[in-house]
A = this chain, B = another copy of it.
Amino acid sequence: MIRILVTGGTLDKEYNQLDGELVFTKTHIADILRQAKCTAEVAIETVMLKDSLHMVDADRQLILDRVRACPEDKVVITHGTDTMADTAAVIGRAVTDKTVVLLGAMVPYSFVNSDAMFNLGCAFSAVQLLPRGSYITMNGKIFSWDNVRKNRQKGEFETLG
């Protein structure tokens, strides 16, 4: 069984046709897994729906609490890309008995050309195969929490080196 903790981020943003803004109304993770015809057992839990630029320490603490509290030792977390590495680090420093994989999307699932499904697929294999620890899977690459950053100029994740 894989626990999926939803925290928001680009992945779940939708178009509000009344004001033309991108907003959160609900998570699309169940829709994505239905389209994926996922046969792995999952439990989906929405912790929050936030742009990760707006996350504060208390948010990361809450996510960490949920990682610790869930009965599963394989945890996938959807997260905004801007501070994903920060949350991965909070978890990486504190959690040693579970495999935790964070992912997000550069383009929301509600767009025709979204990368959300691909990144979620990467996370699903990674959480089943990686040793305990905290990781990020974005756009085909796998990163350890202590060697990753988002390059905002390029819009890509990369190692620190």
* Chain A residues engaging chain B, CB cutoff 8 angstroms: 10, 13, 15, 17-18, 20, 22, 32-33, 35-40, 42, 51, 106-108, 110-115, 117-126, 128-130, 137-142, 152-153, 155-157
Cβ contacts under 8 Å, A156 to chain B:
37, 39
C-alpha spacing A123/B107, complex, angstroms: 21
Known: A107-B15, A129-B126. A39 touches B157 (CB 8 A): yes
**Is the CB–CB distance between A108 and B15 below 8 Å?**
yes
**Copies of this chain present:** 4
**Is the CB–CB distance between A137 and B125 below 8 Å?**
yes
Partner of A17 from B15, B107, B130 at Cβ < 8 Å? B107
Known: A107-B15, A113-B110. A139 touches B20 (CB 8 A): no
**A32 (CB) vs chain B CBs: closest residue:** B118
**Is the CB–CB distance between B129 and A37 below 8 Å?**
no
Partner of A38 from B13, B118, B125 at Cβ < 8 Å? B118
**A156 (CB) vs chain B CBs: closest residue:** B39
Can you offer 7 A-B residue contacts whose CB atoms are under 8 A?
Answer: A17-B107, A39-B157, A40-B139, A110-B111, A112-B112, A118-B121, A129-B129
Cβ contacts under 8 Å, A126 to chain B:
125, 129
